[in-house]
Chain A
């Protein structure tokens, strides 16, 4: 019996090793954004006015042109659609978006029906609201192909666009603008961010590797951080875009628990912790509490970050979801304040909220203070 166990165990182990080594290979060669998504959608013949776009899952999808009715299965597209002046084209939303609507962030969508959740869309309801396209995430919940299969008989196209990775954000917005037939507005909007990102890139490009700031980015849970290999969740990409170095570029797990000793050993120059809440806060006491907790961790007391007081709490409202596009701007200011004296992230945020989102500027986003 023992022998049998051993054989069985060996077979399973080999399977595991094989599986991990194969995925390890793909992990070592992350797909470049240009392979993942192509910005140049090719129009197909004019007959029914349809165009083909490539989405963030690498799928080619034929959509009516211009798209008039949209169902969204995550809140990121709602924000980007509003930025492109097309929020009124949304005819169905998921439960996550509904929460934001209930918070008062999307008054335009107050009467738009819910069509299920991102992980369990109600296909009947989606079919009933008769959208041209469903915009969903490429890497969460059911796969875009699966959703497409369910909705095919109703003639509804499914496009996966994430809007949370700065690496491909501009291509995604371009694709969205193209489908909507508002390319010019999309270009103008993309440039709003790209000019800031380019400025940052330009100023940090000459920093030698050994002088670049090493950043430990912690999520909501203590000692849980983000891996930088593979498609990722966008956080490591944000750090890199700001000229910093993420601590775990070789790990593909997107969110994992790390040994505190490892963090102490890697000695980060800056520690940043993300947290929910921001727009609706009127004082920084919550952020201050989180900051104090990190500063008081004995195991981190000897790190450069804690010794120099370079510990920051950042709101997901400027570093999560569709707001990851602000990540590089805030992070650059945090990491290299001397290089970005003229950059005011709050002013950028204010302009964005007022000009593109129709929201008034308010809230607390970073602790400790970083700007005038």
Chain B
């Protein structure tokens, strides 16, 4: 009995170790990312610029503006966006019991892109670039898509297959609508539509960070509370989970809405950064297993690491050209993913 207990403790200890190790790597990475860039600033310059906001440290305005206006928003947005997208992916994979699911497989990104395109076409003429309109519209459409997918699936009894199929169908539907809109768009509108969907941290600013962080802080504890329920739902079918006392419909509904909520909020400000939501939870699962109590926070850390690493590489590999984050993530994430896929023998998914 005590052997089992010891084994369990060391099992848990490994996961906690991963969390500590991951956080340390993330913090180191954030510091590194903030200190590199096209402008020639030393690490000391960066630290004194950061300190200048809080204490009366001498720094020149250029350094201050580079750090506070360009670098920090970018890095912090990367952390929150990576964490949020990975969290959303981990939860969605759990509730649908399907390793192929990510926020983007249920159509959220196509719907958001369509919402943004509509706003661009209607709004461009009379309210300038209408950023607020674009973001609001993208967000509303992302939620509409989630509710539709969920509504459709519910009609058929909330089975994981229906959710995914409905999501894929809607994803195609919204992409088609966007393509039609793009055809009727003028050059200026078309360029804005294309630019909006292009995932990038360049557009990050403090207001956006505030909104995304607030949503993340509200979402994470609720989803964490569902960890045990998610564990039960992943390990067995719905009937078994129900017999264990899990209100599967409730858990699935709330988790789905919250994951869509956080994804929509993030992509409204960053454009579409795919792959993280799919891969970060898997990478984490490979290492620490599928216990959602640890999987969720650890996925957040891996997601943030992945995005920050990709963005930093993208910014520094061919300076001053900034490589699109989507490309770099694939280069970093895919080899890692395939390595783990090939070296792990056991069935990691359950």
Contact = CB atoms under 8 A, between A and B. Distances in A.
B18 interface: no
Contacts of A5: 152
A124 B195 contact: no
A28 interface: no
Nearest to A20: B184
A252 B38 contact: no
Interface size class, chain B: 35 or more
B187 A233 contact: yes
B59 to A, nearest CB: 14
A342 to B, nearest CB: 36
B97 interface: no
B160 interface: no
A142 B319 CA distance: 19
A16 B322 contact: no
B321 A122 contact: yes
B129 interface: yes
Q: From DSSP, what is the main secondary structure of chain B's interface residues?
A: helix
A120 B189 contact: no
Contacts of B183: 253, 256
B321 A116 contact: yes
A248 to B, nearest CB: 13
B189 A23 contact: yes
B122 A22 contact: yes
A254 B190 contact: yes
A26 B191 contact: no
A24 B186 CA distance: 10
B39 A127 contact: yes
A138 B315 CA distance: 25
Interface in A1-26: 1, 4-5, 8, 12, 15-16, 18-20, 22-24, 26
19 contacts: A19-B118, A19-B184, A20-B121, A22-B122, A23-B186, A116-B38, A119-B198, A122-B315, A122-B319, A122-B322, A127-B65, A138-B188, A139-B191, A141-B191, A143-B129, A145-B128, A153-B65, A230-B187, A230-B188
Interface of A: 1, 4-5, 8, 12, 15-16, 18-20, 22-24, 26-27, 95, 113-117, 119-120, 122-125, 127-128, 138-143, 145-146, 149-150, 153-154, 229-233, 252-254, 256
Interface of B: 37-40, 62, 65-66, 69-71, 118, 121-122, 125, 128-129, 131, 148, 151-152, 155-156, 173, 177, 180-181, 183-192, 195, 198, 200, 202-203, 205, 315, 319-322, 324
Given A1-B152, A20-B181, 8 more contacts: A16-B180, A26-B125, A120-B322, A124-B71, A125-B39, A125-B319, A128-B38, A252-B185
6 interchain residue pairs of minimum CB distance: A125-B38, A125-B320, A230-B186, A122-B320, A254-B187, A139-B188
